[in-house]
């Protein structure tokens, strides 16, 4: 995985989560989880400076944070689909 992709993905999660907190588009737990994972994603970007560290994108913590990103994406998708289905019916 490219270490430089962590910063844009982290920015996406943080921006979407701040927007969701302000507009209440997502449940609060999902927005806070997105902020946490987005900030953690930025920390894993330190692998650019700290070569081969446990904090890096390819280290143990980086893998856990990557899984957190995937969980957030799936959860946000489910929330959006369910809310759009509620508006149709």
pTM of the model: 0.82
Number of domains in the chain: 1
Q: Binning pLDDT at 50, 70 and 90, where does residue 1 land?
A: low
Mean pLDDT of 78-88: 82
Q: Which residue range forms the structural domain that includes residue 72?
A: 3-88
Alpha helices, H only, the chain: 6-23, 28-44, 60-88
pLDDT tens per residue, range 17-72:
999 999 999 999 999 999 999 999 888 877 766 666 666 666 778 888 889 999 99
């Amino acid at each position: 995985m490219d270490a430089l992709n962590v910063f844009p993905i982290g920015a996406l999660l943080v921006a979407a989560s701040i927007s969701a907190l302000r507009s209440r588009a997502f449940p609060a737990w999902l927005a806070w989880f997105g902020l946490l994972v987005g900030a953690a994603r930025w920390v894993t970007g330190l692998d650019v400076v700290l070569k081969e560290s446990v904090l890096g994108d390819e280290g143990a913590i980086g893998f856990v944070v990557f899984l957190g990103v995937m969980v957030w994406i799936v959860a946000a998708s489910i929330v959006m689909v369910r809310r759009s289905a509620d508006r149709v019916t």
